[in-house]
Amino acid sequence: MNPSYVSTRGEAPELGFLDVLLAGLARDGGLYVPSEWPHLSAETIESFAGAPYAAVAEAVISPFVGDAFAPADLRSMIDEAYANFRHPAVAPLVQTGTNSFVLELFHGPTLAFKDVAMQLLARMMDRALMLRGERATIVGATSGDTGGAAIEAFRTCERVDVIILFPHGRVSDVQRRQMTTVDAPNVHAVAVEGNFDDCQALVKAMFNDHRFRDGQKLAAVNSINWARILAQVVYYFTSAVALGAPHRPVSFVVPTGNFGDVFAGWVAKRMGLPIERLVVATNSNDILARTIETGRCEVKGVHPTTSPSMDIQVSSNFERLVFEAEGRDPAAVRRHMASLGQAGAFTLGNTPLAAIRGEFDAGRANETETSETMRRLLRESGYLSDPHTAVALSVSQRLAGDPEVPRVVLGTAHPAKFPDAVIAATGEHPDLPEHVAHIMQGAERMTVLPNDLVTIQAFVAEKSRASLEVV
Ligand SMILES: Cc1ncc(COP(=O)(O)O)c(C=O)c1O
Ligand SMILES: N[C@@H](CCOP(=O)(O)O)C(=O)O
């Protein structure tokens, strides 16, 4: 079967997997989702017990790919992507208390959960471009982790130029150096004088300028790209099965910013994984927690925190959930998104809000709670967490819930990416693993640009080699 994909705003063409992979944002400004959700039987899920990560990934991902790639090609891309991880389980579970676990997603090349999807996305995009004889110009926005992961994954792809926008002065030194010390002709790190929301708005504006988008052959690596979400669905299956699924439900607490990771959990549930609750954990940039509590999605200013990758107000992937909660009514999504664009807010009706609350809980952790959680966890369980993971650990600790249901907190980054926050909270100095440590010495290359679409577009056009003959 060949799956097709529809836009949440209902005014873009329905596409197959390869087109969605290369399209990024839909041409109507919406996000692509599968036209139908595949379902895995309890027997299939049960068969994942003890299977290698790559085998589970193949089973979860292939129904969304259809015959866009030959099965053997898909499997070899998956095998290669996860051979790059430094833990044999790829995403190991660590027990931190009674029925409490951290799912460590940071054993990839850049020490954040983004590697899990990006390592596969790069291989799939490169293959798709080769099959089509095309080049692409990736424009991405990062609050710190997506950028480094994308640069690492794409720096050797000859058909791709990568331009990453990050908020100037608002990422950690390690995150910045992961982007600026890579000396590859196809990689360009741009420090934008603004915040992450500004960077993301610039990326979306470039996609919504169809002449520019087509001329530069733009492609996306942010979670607006469906394939990013897809690869993130896999670890919900591996971890839940390790804890007894499908015979036993599991809950997940997810440090949340752009809503991609927790939406991947919703997809896993939709595919048949028995997930009891999905908990959205935010730092003090708590628009999503407020929305789930009150139904009113209202943008307020972004505050810098010690979990900078979650300093986000406009969460791209919430649109995918709103589409589902509104009964897949694209007109409702268009109304909400127009209101968000014009008035900075929209309000969900009772029915969609009840649908969301039926599956999601939400909570926030402020700076004191986050650092106190890092300290307490180290004291009580000897576990050193990064500040993003600590936001979720803090929310998890204060959350009511069935104590019999295992609770998994997603560990989204290695503590050594955020040494200042970790040292301030715990006094411990987390060392960078050897394969990353060299970045602290390398020369940095970056361009500082104003938060201005025309200037950014001129920079992208100058760096893009989209019009070159394909080799
Ligand atoms: C370390 C870390 N944790 C959590 C998040 C939030 O994930 P998402 O944007 O998928 O909600 C991010 C950024 O995406 C991140 O880099
Ligand atoms: N926290 C992210 C923000 C971008 O999110 P994405 O999942 O849409 O790429 C980051 O680290 O850049």
Whether 260 is in the pocket of ligand 2, judged by its Cβ within 6 Å, is yes
Q: Verify whether ligand 2 is closer than 6 Å to residue 315 (CB atom).
A: no
Q: Measuring from atom 7 of ligand 2, which residue has the nearest CA?
A: 223
Task: Verify cis geometry, omega within 30 degrees of 0, for the bond prior to 34.
Answer: no
Q: State the ipTM, two decimals.
A: 0.99
pLDDT digits (tens, 9 = 90+) for 226-246: 999 999 999 999 999 999 999
Which ligand has the shortest distance to the CA of 278? 1
Mutate to test the pocket of ligand 2, among 115, 116, 143 (most ligand atoms within 8 A of CB): 143
Task: Provide the H-helix boundaries in 99-141.
Answer: 114-132
Q: Which ligand 1 atom minimizes the distance to the CA of 263? A: 10
**How many angstroms does the Cα of residue 122 sit away from the middle of ligand 1?**
19
Nearest to 351 by CA among 319, 318, 328: 328
Say which residue the tokens 């127009």 belong to.
Answer: 338
CB of residue 145 inside a 6 A radius of ligand 2: yes
Cβ burial 331-368 (10 Å sphere, 16+ → b, else e): ebbbebbeebeeeeebebeeebbebbeebbbbbbbebe
Q: Is 148 in the pocket of ligand 2 (CB under 6 A)?
A: no
This prediction has a pTM of 0.98
Judged by its nearest atom, the ligand closest to the C-alpha of residue 262 is 1
Cα dihedral sign for 300, 306, 311, 317?
Answer: negative
For a ligand 1 pocket test, name from 282, 388, 422 the mutation site with the most ligand atoms within 8 angstroms of its C-beta.
388
In short, whether 146's Cβ falls inside 6 Å of ligand 2 is yes
Alpha carbon distance, N-terminus to C-terminus of the chain: 32
**Does the annotation count 300 as an active-site position?**
no
92 Cβ closer than 6 Å to some ligand 2 atom: no
222 Cα: distance to centroid of ligand 2 (angstroms): 6
Q: Whose CA is nearest to atom 1 of ligand 2?
A: 309
User: Measured from the CB, is residue 24 less than 6 Å from ligand 2?
Assistant: no
Nearest to 207 by CA among 33, 35, 456, 3: 456
Tokens coding 283 = 């730092």
- Cβ(222) to ligand 2 under 6 A? yes
Is 257's C-beta closer than 6 angstroms to any atom of ligand 2? yes
- Per-residue pLDDT at 468: 78
Distances (CA, A) of 5 to 63, 225, 235: 13, 12, 23
Mutational test site, ligand 2, from 110, 146, 192, max ligand atoms within 8 Å of CB: 146
Contact 318, 344 (CB under 8 A): no
Smallest-distance ligand from the CA of 167: 2
Catalytic residue (one of 114, 204, 417, 463):
114
Task: Please state the atom number of ligand 2 nearest to the C-alpha of residue 166.
Answer: 12
Residues with CB under 6 A from ligand 1: 112, 144-145, 223, 255-261, 309-310, 388, 412-413
Residue 355 CA, ligand 1 centroid: distance in Å: 24
Q: Is 229 exposed, middle or buried (CB count within 10 Å of its CB: 0-12, 13-18, 19+)?
A: buried
Q: CB of 308 closer than 6 A to ligand 2?
A: no
pLDDT tens-place values along the chain, 471 residues long: 799 999 999 999 999 999 999 999 999 999 999 999 999 999 999 999 999 999 999 999 999 999 999 999 999 999 999 998 999 999 999 999 999 999 999 999 999 999 999 999 999 999 999 999 999 999 999 999 999 999 999 999 999 999 999 999 999 999 999 999 999 999 999 999 999 999 999 999 999 999 999 999 999 999 999 999 999 999 999 999 999 999 999 999 999 999 999 999 999 999 999 999 999 999 999 999 999 999 999 999 999 999 999 999 999 999 999 999 999 999 999 999 999 999 999 999 999 999 999 999 999 999 999 999 999 999 999 999 999 999 999 999 999 889 999 999 999 999 999 999 999 999 999 999 999 999 999 999 999 999 999 999 999 999 998 877 765
